[in-house]
Amino acid sequence: MSNSNDRYAQRGVSSSKSEVHAVVDKLDRGVFPGAFCKIGADILTGNPDKCNIIHSDGSGTKSTLAYLHYKETGDPTGFRKTAQDSLVMNIDDLLCVGAIDGILISSTVNRNARAIPGEALAQLISGTEDFLATMREYGVGVHSGGGETADVGDLTGTVTVDSCAVVVMDRKDVVDNAKVKPGLAIVGLASAGQATYETFENSGIGSNGLTSARHDLLSPYYLEKYPETVDPTTDKQYLYCGPYKMTDMLPDSTMTVGDAIMSPTRTYAPIIKQLLAEDRDSIYGMVHCSGGGQTKCIRFGTGVHHIKDNLLPIPPIFKAIQKASGTSSEEMFRVYNMGHRMEIFCEPAAAAGIIAKSEAFGIPAQIIGRTEATQKTDGQNHVTILHDGETLEYELDH
C-alpha cells in the first residue's frame, strides 16, 4: 500500500504504519477483535456485561502550525485549535465503536518552555475545556480528567499535544466493525465547510498528513527562520519546499493558506450521537478516515472489497497540496481524507436518512461507495478508488 520512495516516507513518516501493525496485530485484539479501537474486558468494575476502552492519540505535527502562527503574529489563540485536534483524534475514533457517553479524557503537553510560554500554554488548556463544554451542550458525554504539562526542551523544539481517553460502556452497545460485509452502502460525511456547531469554515485538513502538507505548501522562508520546526536529518529538498506563506490566499478558496492548514480537526460527535440513537440497527460499522486516509477501511470486515466511486468534491486544500508537490493521486488518497473523514457502513435503505441527518447539521454527505465480496484469491480485503478517470487499487500490507 505504500511506496518507500514517496514524499511522506522521505519525511520520516509512514501512512500505512505497516511496521507498527506488524507488531501490534500479533497482540491480543481484545473482546471485539474486529472493532475500530481495542476493547478490553471490564477490569475497572468487573462487570461481565461491560467493557473498557483506553485510547491515545494527539495533534501530531499540526501543533507546529500554531507555533508558526504565534511566532509570526504574536497571537497565541491558534493553540486552541491544536487542543481540539488532539481531543477529536481520540473522540472520533471512540465514536466508531459506539462510545458517546462517559468519556473521561486527559491531555499531555510536552513543550520547550522557551518557545511555548505561559500565554500559549493557557490557550491550550482553556481551548481544551471550552471544546469539551461545547460537546456536552450537544449531549456528548465527554469530561476532563486533568492532564500534564512537561517541559522537555531536549525532546522537542516546540510543542506536542497528546490526549488519552477512557470509557466504560455496555458490550451490547459496541459497534463492531467485524460485521462489515459485502452488500453495504458507504456513506461519507464531509470534512470541509461549516457545521451548525462550528464557528468558522473548516478546510477539511484534519490532523493526518500534516508533515507533508506543511512542507509541501509553505515556503523556504519558514526553514530559514524557524529551523526548530524540522527534523534536521531530513533531506532539505523535502523541507518547506512550497510556494506559499501562511498569509497568502489558498487558491479557489476564501481562506488563507494558514487558516486552511490550521483548521481544527472536525468532530462528528453530535451527528453520530443522533445516528446511534435512531439508526443503530442499520449501521454495521464506522471508520474514522485518519491514518491511512481513504484506505483506512481496508482493515475492517472480512473478505470485503471496498469500492469508492462517488466521492464528495475534493476540497481546495488537497488540490493545492497535490499541485504544489506533484504528489501522485495514489499517495494523496492514502495520506489525506480528501474530502470526507467519517464513513458509515449501513444497509442501503438507511443511507438516505443518515445523509439527511448529517445535512441537518450543515455537513454534506452522500453514498460514496459500497462493499462487495473480495476479488482476492486469498480472501483478503482490498480497496478500489475511482476518481477523475483514475482507478487506484490498494491491498493490505503484511
Pairing of strands 382-387, 390-395: antiparallel
Placement of cell 526542551 in the chain: 153
Q: What is the pLDDT of residues 45-55, one digit of tens each?
A: 999 999 999 99
pLDDT score of 28: 82
Kindly report the length of the chain.
Answer: 398
The whole-angstrom separation of Cα 316 and Cα 39 is: 37
pLDDT score of 5: 47
- Are 157 and 110 in contact by the 8 Å Cβ rule? The answer is no
pLDDT score of 24: 58
C-alpha pair distances (Å), 225 with each of 229, 236, 237, 362? 10, 14, 16, 40
All three cell numbers of 63: 501543533
- Quick check: 16 pLDDT over 80? no
Determine the average pLDDT of the residues in 49-77. 96
Pairing of strands 304-308, 382-387: parallel
Determine the average pLDDT of the residues in 192-204. 97
Q: How confident is the model at residue 29 (pLDDT cuts 50, 70, 90)?
A: confident
Under 8 Å CB-to-CB from 359, ≥6 apart: which residues?
365
Mean residue pLDDT across the chain: 94
pLDDT score of 4: 37
pLDDT score of 397: 80
Determine the average pLDDT of the residues in 45-74. 96
pLDDT score of 361: 98
- Are 333 and 294 in contact by the 8 Å Cβ rule? The answer is yes
- Are 27 and 304 in contact by the 8 Å Cβ rule? The answer is no
- Quick check: 26 pLDDT over 60? yes
Report the SS3 class of residue 30.
Answer: strand
C-alpha pair distances (Å), 286 with each of 174, 176, 266, 341, 389? 11, 9, 16, 11, 27
**In order of start, what are the domains of the chain with their CATH numbers?**
7-395 (3.90.650.10)
pLDDT score of 395: 96
pLDDT score of 14: 52
Determine the average pLDDT of the residues in 160-168. 97
Placement of cell 508533515 in the chain: 211
Query: For residue 26, what is the enclosing H or E element?
Result: none
C-alpha pair distances (Å), 212 with each of 8, 62, 97, 146, 226? 6, 10, 29, 32, 17
- Quick check: 362 pLDDT over 80? yes
All three cell numbers of 233: 536529518
C-alpha pair distances (Å), 263 with each of 47, 115, 126? 41, 22, 18
pLDDT score of 20: 52
Under 8 Å CB-to-CB from 17, ≥6 apart: which residues?
291, 292
Determine the average pLDDT of the residues in 118-129. 96
Q: What is the pLDDT of residues 169-182, one digit of tens each?
A: 999 999 999 999 99
Q: How confident is the model at residue 3 (pLDDT cuts 50, 70, 90)?
A: very low
Share of the chain above pLDDT 70, in %: 93
pLDDT score of 11: 57
pLDDT score of 194: 98
Query: Residue 2: left (phi > 0), alpha (psi -120 to 50), or beta?
Result: beta
pLDDT score of 1: 40
Tell which wins on pLDDT, 129 or 3.
Answer: 129
Q: What is the pLDDT of residues 307-340, one digit of tens each?
A: 999 999 999 999 999 999 999 999 999 999 999 9
- Quick check: 19 pLDDT over 80? no
- Are 85 and 61 in contact by the 8 Å Cβ rule? The answer is no
C-alpha pair distances (Å), 210 with each of 126, 198, 268, 386? 24, 22, 20, 24
